Every structure is written in C-alpha cells, then in structure tokens.
Structure 1
Amino acid sequence: MIVVDQVGPLATIQDLGRPGWFDSGVGAAGAADRASLRLANRLVGNPEGHAAIEVLLGGFALHAEQRVTIAITGAPAPATVDGTPVGHAFVLELAAGQVLRLGYAPVGVRSYIAVRGGVDVAPVLGSRSRDTMSWVGPEPLGKGDRLPIGPAPRTLPTVDFAPVAPPPADLVTVRAVLGPRDDWFTDATALFDGGWEVSTDSDRIGARLDRRCGRPLTRNDERELPAEGMALGSVQVPPSGQPVVFLADHPITGGYPVIAVVIDADVDAVAQARPGVTVRFVRVVSGSEPAGRA
C-alpha cells in the first residue's frame, strides 16, 4: 500500500481512460497528459496504461507501507524523499515508511506519480480513471487514503532517467485542423491570428482561452446548433467568443459550433498549459502538414 499524506488543489487516479461508452453517455476521461502518464509507467516497467496518480500543480505527499518503485513525470514539481531532493523523470525507490513530497511546479499543470504494479483500485466500466465531469471512477484523493498496488510486472525498468523538456512557460504552439463548423464564422482563420491566453476558468474538461492579440471570432450564423458529438481536442466557441479546447473529461455532445480540432499529438501540450500561458494555433490540413492561408 501507499498512503496519501497531503493533497494540494486536486489529485486523482488516472489511466488511459474508458473508450467505448459514448452510447451510454460516458466519456473516455483518462490522463489529461497521456504522454507523461505513459512515460512514468515505462520508467517503472509497467504497461503504459497502468493507473497512476495525477497531481494538479503540486502540494502532494505520500508514504510507502512497503518498498516501492516510483517515477514522477509531467509538470516538474520539486520532489523530495524524507527531505532529500530527488530528480524529475527518475526511477526512485521508496523504502517502507519513507515520505515522498511534491512542491508546486514552476511550469506546467499536471504531474504524474507511477508506482511499479500500478494503483490497483477497483475499475469502473473498465477503467480506473476519475471523470470529473460525470463523477465516474474513484473519488478524488484525500488525506489518509490507502492505495493498493498491483502485482509487479515481469518487465524490469530499463533506464534510470528520461531527459524530457519541461512544459513551455510562456508560449504553446499547437496544430489544428479547421472545421467542421468553420463556416459558421465570418472568418474562421482568425483563430490562427495572434495568440490566445489560457484562462483561470480551465480544468480537466477544457482549457478556456481569452484573446491576447489578433482578430476576434465572430459568427455569421446565429441559429442554434443541434447537439452533436464532441471529440478530444475540439475547439468549441460559445457566444462569448472565447474558444474552449476540450480535454480528457470533455462532454460527449455539445451545442456550440466547433471551429477546429487540435490534432491528437498536441492535446497533451494544451493540458499542461497553465493560466496566463499564450496558445498559438497553427493550421494544418492533416496531422502534420501546414495549410496555406485560406
């Protein structure tokens, strides 16, 4: 077992989600930054989809009741074991009774703590992820929670350290495909002009953006749009004109037009962009090819 000693703004258990339940009104959820979850699991020798702890900003602490192997990835929150600083994206060994503490990350939003064997709470609809929108999955973590650890996999950790760059502190550039409702706007290419600022009104459901510089988004069609399916990375524009980039716990349907969709490879970067960071959209036709100005 590992025991939670302290929780900051929010800490949840996350794996790679529960796809396949849209027809029942349940979204996929899962880690907001999937690449960081996968890396943490690989570092401790787990399959990439094992459940881990997603920590919002930091301020988290736990101790081990038995010897465990862990790794911390994502937002580089300063970490200590019994007061001794330890590295980020390192493989760490905690002896029984030792305490791991995370301070508050200077950049990024979400850190991931993986333990060899995975966090072995009961799955709900095939996943151990907490969906903060539909309230499906294990409850957010609180002080005193005891988390079981699954059996150690046969594979052994093969590296001690993964040299990964921290999330950008000032500017995040993401690629997006225009549409499917770009024709509802006077000039949808205004999305790609200037920059947008991540709002404090952002969470695991989506990153809301305020216009920092550039042309505003104005609609040329004020009809109500019938509810339609929403994909991860959809850039939905409500009447305020403030785009929302849908993240892990996004609704499965929505009634505001989607002006563009962030490509899957860049969604993790949006999930790590903290309030005040500038987001710049680059238009692509496919997953990687920039498009000419329309």
Structure 2
Amino acid sequence: MMKTKFEEIVDVSRIGSENTKGFNELMVLANAEKITPSREDVEKVLLMGIDFQNDFMENGELGVPNSHKDVERVTKFLYQNLDKVTTIALSLDTHELHQLFHPSWWVDGEGNHPVPFTVITREDVEQGKWMAVEQQQESLAYIIQLERLGKKQLVIWPYHCIEGTYGAALEGQFSNMVHYHSVIRQSNIQKIVKGQDPLSEMYGIIKPEYAKTDGTNYAFLHSLLAYDKIVIAGEAKSHCVLESVRQIVEYYGDKHELPSKIYLLDDCMSPIPGFEEATEHACKELQRIYGIHIVKSTEFML
C-alpha cells in the first residue's frame, strides 16, 4: 500500500505549467515508501515515455492537442503500477535553432524564411523556390533520400525543444512521477537525447530519418530483449511515437517475439492535427503485421 497519495506527487491542474514541487520535497515522500527494488522483479516491464516535454504540451511551441490529458492518464497509470514497472526510458527531443526542419535553414528568392508547417519538396529546391542558407547540396540530397526511402516529407516545424530551454525539459508533473518511481524502485531512468543532427530529422528514438552514417541506437534496441512487456506512451502519436514503434518492430521483424511484447497506451498519446487518419491506419497496420497491442491505460493490467 502506497503511503503517498497521487495528488501529493502530481497536480493535474499544473500540467503544462510551472512545477512548484521541488525535488527534495518529492524525495522526502519517496523515501518513506517501502517497495521492493526493481532488480527483484520477476516480470520485467519497461515504460517508454516519448518526448513528454514542455514544448509538446498544449501551450508549448509545438503544442499537441489533448497532451495534458495524456500526461494525466500516463502518470495515473504509472502510479497504479509503481511496483510493477521495472525501468523507465525517456526520449528527449533536443535541437538547436539552425537545423534543416526549422525556418532559419531556408529562404525564398526574396530572403523570406518559410512559415511553420511549410512542406519543402525536391522540386521546390531544384526550382529555387526554397534555398538552404548553407549546405544547399547536402540539404537537397537529404530531401531526395527521404523521397527515395518513402519517408515523411520535410516539414518546417516551429522552433521547439531548443537545448537548455524550458521547452526542452520534461513536463513537470510527468517528471515528478518518473523520478518518484526511480527513487522508490531504486531504478535509474534511461534518458535518451535525440534530434541533434542539423542535417536530419529524428522522430524515432532509435535512428534518424536518414543520415550518411549509421546512427542506429543498437545498445537501446538490444536492451529491449531483457523485458517481458514494453509499454509505450508519448507525444506526438503521429510522429515520434509512431516512428519509434515502427523502428523497433522493423528491426526485429515479424519472425521475432519482441514486437508482441509491445503495448501502446492509446489514451496516453495524441497526434498532431491533420495526421489523425494516417496515424490510425499506420498503427493498425503495425498491429496486424507485427502483433503489437493497442490498449487503454484504464483497462490494461500489468
């Protein structure tokens, strides 16, 4: 039985805003709990949180609608399963201002930068509609590779998750819960920084959309084999969550049992507007081909 109430850890009214609870205050509560350390778990469970960061909250620079409810539900799920989740792994989208998916990378013939959500195609660059401020040939080559590989088109995103800023930090209430878990279960949080290559997008936690060198995180991929269940939530469902899942299941393939250990908490993730239908179709295809599970946090029992 937990001594600390959920409301003492998470203030749902402050999701997406300043976190007023200090770590030391939180750790006093955590140190009062007496729960078996995660190293003694018989069934090993990984909770993977994708990009639960301030800039993806509803009032963030690249806000995802319904993200506050997603955080509320995932923190409640973790609270109810503090004694069952063995390890937490978190991805942290981390950028600089000058990267090829930000407006500053491109200009038109009059020196104007593209507005957010502009799609830049190979034809746009070859015809001079958009020009890279620098590394023009490398930028065009990247777009050509995206088209060759059948990847998402290059979208110019609002500036977001700039390294060292508030927007790049974990959402405060989610941070409270995952660090609380870390203390009471004596389990280190795996924090995986992604997206720092100026010449590539990196939606998935495993590898960039395209890069000249192999940027695959093989160590994390192979660590997944240690778990009996892999539970995934995060933002945005349409991009970073979907691509993370796709990268994992495609690596292991339909002849390996690992994809069938994946459980998507469907009510703890939301898509970027305009991508809803394509996202649902893609998730159902991954479910059909690889046997992943799509569940609701309120119904899924560990």
TM-score in terms of structure 2 length:
0.24
Report which of the two has the higher share of strand: 1
Report which of the two has the higher share of helix: 2
- Work out which structure has the larger RCO, using CA pairs closer than 8 Å and 6 or more positions apart in sequence: 2
